[in-house]
Amino acid sequence: MTTPLRVAMIGHGFMGAAHSVGWRQAPAAFDLPLSPQMAVLVGRDAAKTSAAAERWGWTETSTDWRSVVARDDIDLVDIVTPGDSHAEIALAALAAGKHVLCEKPLANSVAEAEEMERAARDAAAHGVRAMVGFTYRRVPAVTLMRDMVAAGRVGTIRQVRASYRQDWLADPESPMTWRLDKDRAGSGALGDIGAHIVDMAQFVTRQDISAVSGVLETLVSERPVLAESVGLSGTAGTERGTVTVDDVAVFTGRLTSGALASFEATRFATGRKNALDIEISGDAGSLHWNLEDMNVLDFYDATRPAAEQGFARILVTEPEHPYLSGWWPAGHMLGYEHGFSHQVKDLIEALAAGAQPSPSFEDGLRVQRVLDAVERSSRDGSAWTNI
């Protein structure tokens, strides 16, 4: 019998479902040094929280996150709420001696992220750990990409191209949600999906983004407010609400090595459902990955004879590939949800070893500073804004 890790999850929306799958599936797929126990699910609405807990396998429910965080029988707090509450919950949990997993982006501002990073650093001195949930790092093909870059397979990096394109707001009559309210979400496409490509570029290259130049655009400034919408920019039941975040973010960046990077985050790419795309170009080759074909990594080896050159298609399903030993025979595909199981695996293994799980709150702060610099560049019209 392994030692239990008793988890309380705060929030139960889309990310709550994904995290629940991770907590439930990881111990079935991997031999873990701790046994995660889905102890308490917390939400604002008692009936909705109870229904979610029954569906996903949580033992108890509560509508008071503060009392749950203070409980002696909780070891880890998993935060999947909108960004405006990340800092308050994480700070309280760390102060109570609980490990923390916090969804990305870490916070709604650099100031909040800095406070969270300081608290995590102080807590680590007492064996309490904090991690931010950039789950796409744990797609096997992305981890393999990073390993191949580190092994020098593309040589010296010259350029990075990263984009995250969706179309769920292409219809101007799509209703308001909390993701379109700056007070709740912090930013729009930039923070919600742009944070992923910023983190992925830094993760895969093992370099920081040192400067950016960008522009943010809100394409639809007003949307219908549904009667059940509460706490948005507008009053429930009124006809229209004001969109206070960006719909599109386009920016260039420079890595610490001097290499150039280009980024696009948009919710208006008609026909693109979840197209996260990254390509690393070096003097010895290139690597390319796209979430809509998530088990495939494209590799161009420029060192091969000219007659043999061309992108090779690597099907990342072999047991030797990252994370694959816990799953299916070669050629059997993994999906979006598996990244959350890999997140639980890595987190639990780090906690059991007394090590800092990755990505840390420091990594989350690093991404937050890039997002902030893009906003400042767009606002000021700056050619380059340093991080």
Q: Are residues 77 and 195 in the same domain?
A: no
Span 213-226, average pLDDT: 95
Q: Is the pLDDT of residue 239 over 90?
A: no
Q: Are residues 33 and 152 in the same domain?
A: no
Q: Are residues 127 and 228 in the same domain?
A: no
Q: Is the pLDDT of residue 90 over 90?
A: yes
Tell me the helices (H) and strands (E) count for the chain, helix number first.
11, 17
**pLDDT tens for residues 7-64?**
999 999 999 999 999 999 999 999 999 999 999 999 999 999 999 999 999 999 999 9
Residue 344 counted as domain residue:
no
What is the model's pLDDT at position 236? 47
Q: Are residues 170 and 209 in the same domain?
A: yes
Domain boundary among 81, 108, 135: 135
What is the model's pLDDT at position 347? 98
Q: How confident is the model at residue 228 (pLDDT cuts 50, 70, 90)?
A: low
Domain boundary among 66, 100, 135: 135
Tally the domains of the chain.
Answer: 2
Residue 350 counted as domain residue:
no
* Residue 101 to residue 358: CA distance in whole angstroms: 11
**pLDDT tens for residues 164-185?**
999 999 999 999 999 999 999 9
Give residue 231's region: left, alpha or beta (phi > 0; psi -120 to 50): left
Name the token pair of 221: 């400034």
Q: How confident is the model at residue 253 (pLDDT cuts 50, 70, 90)?
A: very high
Residue 29 counted as domain residue:
yes
CA 278 to chain centre: 15
Q: Largest Cα–Cα distance in the chain?
A: 67
Question: What's the domain range around 102?
Answer: 3-135
> Which residue from 73, 77, 75, 91 is spatially nearest to 127, judged by alpha carbons?
75
Q: How confident is the model at residue 96 (pLDDT cuts 50, 70, 90)?
A: very high
CATH of the domain at 80: 3.40.50.720
What is the model's pLDDT at position 226? 80
The pTM score is: 0.94
**pLDDT tens for residues 51-89?**
999 999 999 999 999 999 999 999 999 999 999 999 999
Q: Are residues 240 and 373 in the same domain?
A: yes
Q: Are residues 97 and 25 in the same domain?
A: yes
Residue 84 counted as domain residue:
yes
Q: Are residues 118 and 146 in the same domain?
A: no
